[in-house]
Amino acid sequence: MASKFVASLGCFICNESWGPTSPRPHYPSMPKYPKGQSPGDEGAEAKALFSVSGLTCSACAGSVEKAVKRLPGIREAAVDVLNNKALVHYYSNFVTEERIREAIEDVGFEATTIKQDDNIANDISQSTLWGSIAQVALATEEAEVYYDPNFLSYNQLLQTIEDTGFEAILLSLGEDISKIDIQIDGFKTDHSLKIIAKSLQSIDGVQEIETYPELKKISISYKSQLTGPRTFIEVIESSGSGHFKAMIYPEDQGDRDSHRQHEIKQYYKWFLWSLVFTIPVFLTSMVFMYVPVIMKVLDIKIVNMLTIGELLRWELATPVQFIIGWRFYVGSYKALRHGSPNMDVLIALGTNAAYFYSVYIVLRAANSKDFKGTDFFETSSMLITFILLGKYLEVLAKGKTSEAIAKLMNLAPETATLLTLDGEGNVVNEQEIDSRLVQKNDVIKIIPGAKVASDGLVLWGQSHVNESMITGEARPVSKRKGDAVIGGTLNENGVMHIRATRVGSESALSQIVRLVESAQMAKAPVQKFADRISKYFVPLVITLSFATWLAWFLAGKFHSYPHSWIPSSMDSFELALQFGISVVVIACPCALGLATPTAVMVGTGVGASQGVLIKGGQALESAHKVSCIVFDKTGTLTIGKPVVVNTRILNSMVIREFYELVAATEPRPLVEYAKKMKEDEENIIWPEAENFVSITGQGVKAIVKNKKIIVGNKSLMRENNIEIPVEAQEALEEAEGMAHTGIIVSIDEEVAGIISISDPLKPGARQAISILKAMKIESIMVTGDNWGTAKSIAKEVRIDTVVAEAKPEMKAEKVKELQSSGHIVAMVGDGINDSPALVAADVGMAIGAGTDIAIEAADIVLMKSNLEDVITAIDLSRTTFTRIRLNYIWAMGYNILGIPIAAGVLFPFTGFRLPPWIAGAAMAASSVSVVCCSLLLKNYRRPKKLDELEIGGITIE
């Protein structure tokens, strides 16, 4: 079971050992044999087991699996993210164990060969996940955990997260599990609630039930394809002889938003209280010294050399240090207990050094009649205040990075109009219900201006629906009986009745939200750089801080610099201490940790809003390096819906009778064309086809009206010893020359006619290829269609390199060939036969209207099914990675320049030093600046050249 939690992660730095977020992705197997080799050449099958370090999630597993499967001679590869192992079956004549290891390391993971163990190997091949595995996303402050409910409950997971120092709430219970809270009124005892829970547990599809008597609430986890909330309410209200009343539990806003708002309010409150105490400390130490009257009062001695000002600052700084700053102590303790020092440790060290040194000064002044010293209470209190201000601004900014998901989630309408139909399909009742109560097979009424309540099929009516919020398609789409509609889209004109087909977690909107969330959780390979640095950052900074203090202290003790360098308000020890504290508090690993995930999060969100679904940081990173794109033809460069453009009958048969025989064999475009010849008939009935046989890639055979009908290509005719006359050959050549596909029709073993069908080129295809050339990206077409048609289409779109009559494995081989020549290859396709090539490519792009298998195998899904989004995806990737580079330059440059300045490198030459409180303010600002830099991606606009394209719809008659 998968559960998603939102956690208040604070300054959680990416140096922990993460587990995977999902089971290993199942990519289609790649071809076994290298180009030019054949079965029999492979030699012995071998098996290698590797230990792979750096695996964090399913995206990482997918990277390793794809990298290995691209190699020649790989039979199968399985990656176990839980145990950080990869098992590879390969043919030793084609590839070596060392080459496989290098392929794994090429995608950013360290791999070592481990001793073979068949039991381990079998465990990897047939692994079942138990215990728990997880991934934490810093930018979203979310954790996704896969666990076996037989071993763990999500409440235990929540407790574990809280034990490590972070607050957590449950967001969801998995991709195929929906969860809903229901309020129950009318029960008097807990026993009544248990009876209700028992009744609900008997419903097919209910997974888990939790009761909250004090809140009058019951939480139900269920499978939406089997049951739904309306059923639960009916069962509840029938359980108590009409005494119980049930409704969806009222929520002001989603858990995700409420948690975010709570966190923002919490930081704001802490900052304000800190400010209340810090301002007087700042005034008494930095401002009032220049106001003689007030200064005299503050300098009044209470005990020995202890003054009113020192005592006042101590009293004011203490609540800031130990009450408002208590969270840093808790965070430091838990981080050190788990062996992963984080930002809290640096803050606690810096503020404690300043505070307790100041306490020492105060106590010594109280016990001495001639001691003169300066306290640093303003340093500790101002540090905490500025850090809290920085965290407040950071959570505000990070909240904006997840706006894409929030907007998607808010697309679902609040209410829906439920229709009750009689046996003849007539409406007998209308009822307005909460949209969360819609269940599978419900009939919903959609009026003009209303949002579609769920995914479904149109039963009655016609209209135009604006789907831009889901697909990014700007033009309204015509809908009529039988057409599919998407939940959350806007009905523009006309009333429709739809039957709900997918609700809850099954809906397209939920799946898109899940895909975007998953993409934002997955790390980009470039982030490993920051993770490695973060692992050693805090210990290194502490070492540098101590070294800085020691160097300045020894230099002062042995008079290595002029005494005039020491400010009048302190001695050499205090000067050294301030330099050391400044180094601790200016260093900021958080900026490094946020550089990649925030940019990836905003980039994938922007892509989703434009109909380009990018499956994670790795796809986004690979896309910006693409130098060559391999296009499928049918359904990718072309519409994918062939139409009849010409018919040439070679005997005396009437065209209506000819098409009646052809249509009986059921080739789809021919049937649609034949229907137009019988438009005057209400119920079209075709002759019965007997002994029907379909030959993949060639055509069909059948007996119709006692005539032997064969419809197909040349090879099918040759196999059946049917001679193709010269007239037919000319018709076929003419068709191919016009980029049409010629279909031969044989009746009783004689060629009776040639039907030319054409798959129209997609609008804007030629212009899209031209723009890609301007972007210095080479375009290649690989298709299973014949050479004549392939060359004609390629000429029309101006693609120079063509591979035709290619089987699925040949497409994948072509991708590998291009990769071996140094190209970073993207594959754009839509069919099952494109899946191996989509997997083999560095970036697989699936046309949104394509098959589920192609979409599953791809790294990027183009929802609008047009080629302009290929350009958008690549351009967005380039823009995002430019932003990531800027983030890294800022984060690295900030630390590289800031730490030496804080250590006093400029002080001997310029007299400039960085007081700890200013260093703390700079540290707080660094994370905010990185997040804001990423947020600028929200202003992304696709290339202007695309706006100039006239990509209109195409109508097929």
Q: What is the CATH number of the domain that holds 218?
A: 3.30.70.100
Residues 72 and 58 in one domain: yes
State both tokens at 822. 């140094």
Write down the mean pLDDT value for the chain.
79
Instruction: Please report whether residue 65 resides in a domain.
Output: yes
Residues 185 and 324 in one domain: no
> Residue 8's pLDDT is what?
44
Region of poorest pLDDT, from 14-23, 237-246, 268-277: 14-23
One-letter amino acid at 859 equals D
State both tokens at 656. 């209506």
Residues 180 and 236 in one domain: yes
Residues 246 and 99 in one domain: no
Residues 72 and 210 in one domain: no
State both tokens at 388. 């809290």
Instruction: Please report whether residue 875 resides in a domain.
Output: no
Instruction: Please report whether residue 460 resides in a domain.
Output: yes
Each residue's pLDDT tens digit, 379-390? 788 878 888 887
Among 758, 773, 797, give the residue marking a domain's end: 758
DSSP-H helix ranges across 18-140: 58-69, 97-106, 118-125
Residues 262 and 403 in one domain: yes
Given pLDDT bands bounded at 50, 70 and 90, which one contains residue 319?
Answer: very high
Pairing of strands 750-758, 643-649: antiparallel
Whether pLDDT at 130 is above 50 = no
> Residue 146's pLDDT is what?
61
Pairing of strands 778-782, 750-758: unpaired
Cα separation, 238 vs 378, whole angstroms: 66
Residues 305 and 216 in one domain: no
Cα separation, 660 vs 678, whole angstroms: 10
Helix (H) / strand (E) element for 860: namely: strand 860-862
Each residue's pLDDT tens digit, 419-439? 988 877 788 888 888 888 888
Instruction: Please report whether residue 537 resides in a domain.
Output: no
Domain region containing 243:
172-250
One-letter amino acid at 681 equals E
Instruction: Please report whether residue 277 resides in a domain.
Output: yes
**Which range among 314-328, 468-482, 901-915 has the greatest average pLDDT?**
314-328
Residues 216 and 295 in one domain: no
Identify the residue with better confidence: 700 or 334: 700
> Residue 584's pLDDT is what?
83
The DSSP-derived string for 552-618 is HHHHHHTT-S-GGGS-TTS-HHHHHHHHHHHHHHH--HHHHHHHHHHHHHHHHHHHHHTTEEE-SHH
Residues 451 and 405 in one domain: no
Cα separation, 57 vs 133, whole angstroms: 9
The DSSP-derived string for 514-562 is HHHHHHHHSPPTTHHHHHHHHHHHHHHHHHHHHHHHHHHHHHHHTT-S-
Given pLDDT bands bounded at 50, 70 and 90, which one contains residue 956?
Answer: very low
Q: What is the CATH number of the domain that holds 653?
A: 3.40.1110.10
> Residue 78's pLDDT is what?
79
Instruction: Please report whether residue 328 resides in a domain.
Output: yes
When pLDDT is averaged across residues 211-219 and rounded to a whole number, the result is 82
> Residue 952's pLDDT is what?
42
For the chain, what percent of residues have pLDDT higher than 90?
A: 12
Residues 375 and 265 in one domain: yes
Instruction: Please report whether residue 743 resides in a domain.
Output: yes
Identify the residue with better confidence: 935 or 13: 935
Each residue's pLDDT tens digit, 356-377? 888 988 998 898 888 777 787 8
Q: Which of 793, 789, 794, 798 is nearest to 767 (CA)?
A: 798
Cα separation, 523 vs 336, whole angstroms: 25
Each residue's pLDDT tens digit, 248-298? 877 544 455 666 677 788 889 999 999 999 999 989 887 888 888 898 898
Whether pLDDT at 124 is above 70 = no
Region of poorest pLDDT, from 337-351, 522-536, 557-571: 522-536
- Report helix, strand or coil for 765: helix
Q: Report the number of distinct structural domains present in the chain.
A: 5
Among 96, 114, 132, give the residue marking a domain's end: 114
Region of poorest pLDDT, from 378-382, 496-500, 551-555, 626-630: 378-382
Say what the pTM is: 0.65
> Residue 951's pLDDT is what?
47
Given pLDDT bands bounded at 50, 70 and 90, which one contains residue 15?
Answer: very low
The DSSP-derived string for 489-510 is -EEEES-EEEEEEE-GGGSHHH
For the chain, what percent of residues have pLDDT higher than 70?
A: 79
State both tokens at 427. 């409406």
Residues 208 and 297 in one domain: no
Whether pLDDT at 112 is above 70 = yes
> Residue 72's pLDDT is what?
80
Instruction: Please report whether residue 236 resides in a domain.
Output: yes
Please give the positions annotated as active site. 632
Among 731, 758, 785, give the residue marking a domain's end: 758
Q: What is the CATH number of the domain that holds 478?
A: 2.70.150.10
Residues 242 and 331 in one domain: no
For residue 494, give every residue at least 6 positions away whose Cβ sits within 8 Å of its Cβ, in sequence order, or none: 448, 461, 462, 463, 464
Region of poorest pLDDT, from 310-324, 396-410, 885-899: 396-410
